[in-house]
Amino acid sequence: MKTFSFKIDPLTGEEYYEVYLRGRQLLNDPFLNKGSAFTKEERLALDLDGRLPAAVSTMESQLEKSLESFRRKQDDLEKYLFLSSLLDRSEPLFYRLLVENLTEMVPIVYTPTVGLACQQLSRIARRFRGTYITPDNIGHIDRIFQSISQPHISLIVVTDGERILGLGDLGADGMGIPVGKVSLYVAAGGLHPACCLPVMLDVGTNNERLLNDPLYLGHRRPRLTGQDYEDMVERFVLGVQRNFSGALLQWEDFAKHTAFKNLDRYYKRILSFNDDIQGTGAVALSALMTGVRAQKSNFRDQRFVIVGMGQAGSGVARNIRAMLLEEGLSDEEARARLFALDMPGLLMEDTPGLEEQQLPYGQRRANVAGWKLDDPNKISLDDVVRNAKPTALIGVTAQRGLFDAKILSELVKNAAHPIVLALSNPTSKSECTPEELAAATGGRGLLATGSPFPPLKWDRRTIHTSQCNNVYIFPGLGLGALVAQAPRITGRMFIAASKAISRMVSPTQEANGFLLPEMVDIRTVSLAVAKAVAIEAREAGLGRMLEDDEYERVIRKAQWEPRFSSYRPG
């Protein structure tokens, strides 16, 4: 049963919600609950008279109390639980609080705190959000989707919990990730919360800790694999197509062996993308664009080293390669400037067992001829940094301290301002810290990290470290694709998004170490990304034929502002 509908008064043009709930049911609905802010007229019309204190409060007064309560919490997990409870009580109030305190609260609702919450979700969850699809109920997927009370679904964020951040298989406890991503779509991108649906494909878990935990709430069986798994994903996608035509599907935190397969199989069939591959690649490209601009250089004059060629690393490599080709290099010239390392060391054209997404980045033997190696049987990171003389170093390895003083000191020999992206989450797994980079480079290194770090006082100046957070990309990209009514998302849309983000970093911010805009400007960033993506969709023949200014107007209109709306009984 739908709990409300979006309406416009044909006489006055007033926007309001036609509400189908009454009394206590209305107060228990997080999309609709306004607490003590219901007007006297609404209280009478919706059977709330006598269920609330006499005073009619404002959102501002509730916001003040909520912020005080949040800041009284003693640790990040307690803050996460407070915000989760507020989300379950009143979504408009939660999102207003989040939008007005993004820098402070994004690390709580998403990385790094969400990882800690997911590790304990079965033990700390108080209410359950989103939809859980299992092998036992996949046959009823139409009934499950049709029972959703939200008036319209435009966005679905789905995970199977197999690769949650850098923490591995967390099974159904990985639901904290889609819930967190939806929160960022709303707060940063401006999608209406009632149009967003987090989904867990609970296909089991191979995590022995969870399987043996009597409090674990997920599907207590080993993971589905092979054809059984693929059949379940296919039935899920078909269910989405039947019930939510035109919705955007974001694949989130799938393991490498399924992530690339799902992305390749479905990106032309349904509006969809994988944030771990494409989103990470795009936000990293934005940071690199800014760093290259700060060097007063260009991509073709850089030499890039990427360590960790899983989903994120492959996504970063794909985007770097696209930029090198855009600047006029051939495939072979681009390959010679991009050095990719994984478990076997430097990936070579003849490295056994290269995965399909790694093949374009296997280095030619001729390009490393004459290198001085510590071990002729394996080309290590030290070997690559010493011989290739890179100007940019990217890590997605979850190996704390991988970029040590020796490597960073070698790096600074190759560029006045070398670029380092230490992208692993959470903070405890970062390849290096701002202090370590500054010490090794004399404060000249440019750094972006996967998790947030505070500003660093160094040599009578303050160095800022940008968080290379996908929130700069996916909310705006999703909004732009939906507004453009694109049937699919292309690689060029991500490139357009990356350029839009980098353009927003001012010269003053560049001078202070920023490689990305400040988090406080994320809604403006999302608007710019959405517009760039929509225009790219139009130019590719995949979007509505609106003029640039009209796209900006429509996107601004689509961005929901957290507020208490007017209600009328339905």
CA Rg value for the chain = 24
pLDDT at 15: 93
What CATH fold (topology level) applies to the domain 278-472? Rossmann fold (3.40.50)
Given a cut of 80, is residue 276 above it in pLDDT? yes
Assign 165 a pLDDT band (cuts: 50, 70, 90): confident
Please tell me if the domain spanning 4-57 has the same topology as the one spanning 59-270.
no
Nearest to 493 by CA among 322, 361, 360: 322
Assign 111 a pLDDT band (cuts: 50, 70, 90): confident
Nearest to 340 by CA among 382, 384, 370: 384
pLDDT in tens, 488-512: 999 999 999 999 999 999 999 999 9
**Segment 532-547 mean pLDDT:** 97
Given a cut of 80, is residue 10 above it in pLDDT? yes
Active site residue 181: yes
Q: How many CB atoms lie within 10 A of CB 126?
A: 8
Cα distances from 169 to residues 54, 136, 276, in angstroms, run 49, 20, 15
Of 80, 110, 229, 267, which residue is the catalytic one? Answer: 110
Given a cut of 80, is residue 456 above it in pLDDT? yes
Please tell me whether residue 339 adopts helix, strand or coil conformation. strand
**Segment 277-281 mean pLDDT:** 95
pLDDT in tens, 133-148: 999 999 999 999 999 9
Assign 180 a pLDDT band (cuts: 50, 70, 90): very high
Whole-number percent of the chain with pLDDT over 90:
95
**Segment 16-27 mean pLDDT:** 97
pLDDT at 422: 97
pLDDT at 166: 78
The CATH code of the domain at 59-270 is 3.40.50.10380
The CATH code of the domain at 4-57 is 1.20.1370.30
Q: Out of 367-371, 426-430, 446-450, which region has the weakest mean confidence (pLDDT)? A: 426-430
Nearest to 566 by CA among 11, 45, 30: 45
- pTM, to two decimals: 0.94
**Segment 63-70 mean pLDDT:** 97
Cα distances from 227 to residues 3, 160, 237, 355, 402, in angstroms, run 38, 16, 15, 20, 38
pLDDT in tens, 390-411: 999 999 998 999 999 999 999 9
Who's near 172: CB < 8 A, 6+ residues apart? 121, 122, 132, 161, 200, 202, 205, 216, 217, 218, 219
pLDDT in tens, 191-203: 999 999 999 999 9
Rounded-to-integer distance, Cα 441 and Cα 411, Å: 8
**Segment 248-273 mean pLDDT:** 96
Given a cut of 80, is residue 426 above it in pLDDT? no
User: Under a CB-based contact definition with an 8 Å cutoff, are residues 250 and 180 in contact?
Assistant: no
Domain ranges of the chain: 4-57, 59-270, 278-472
Rounded-to-integer distance, Cα 20 and Cα 1, Å: 9
pLDDT at 457: 94
Active site residue 110: yes
Q: What is the DSSP letter of 448?
A: E
Assign 570 a pLDDT band (cuts: 50, 70, 90): very high
The overall average pLDDT reported for the chain is: 96
pLDDT at 452: 87
Alpha helices (H) in 442-486, listed in sequence order: 474-484
pLDDT at 126: 87
Of 79, 181, 256, 429, which residue is the catalytic one? Answer: 181
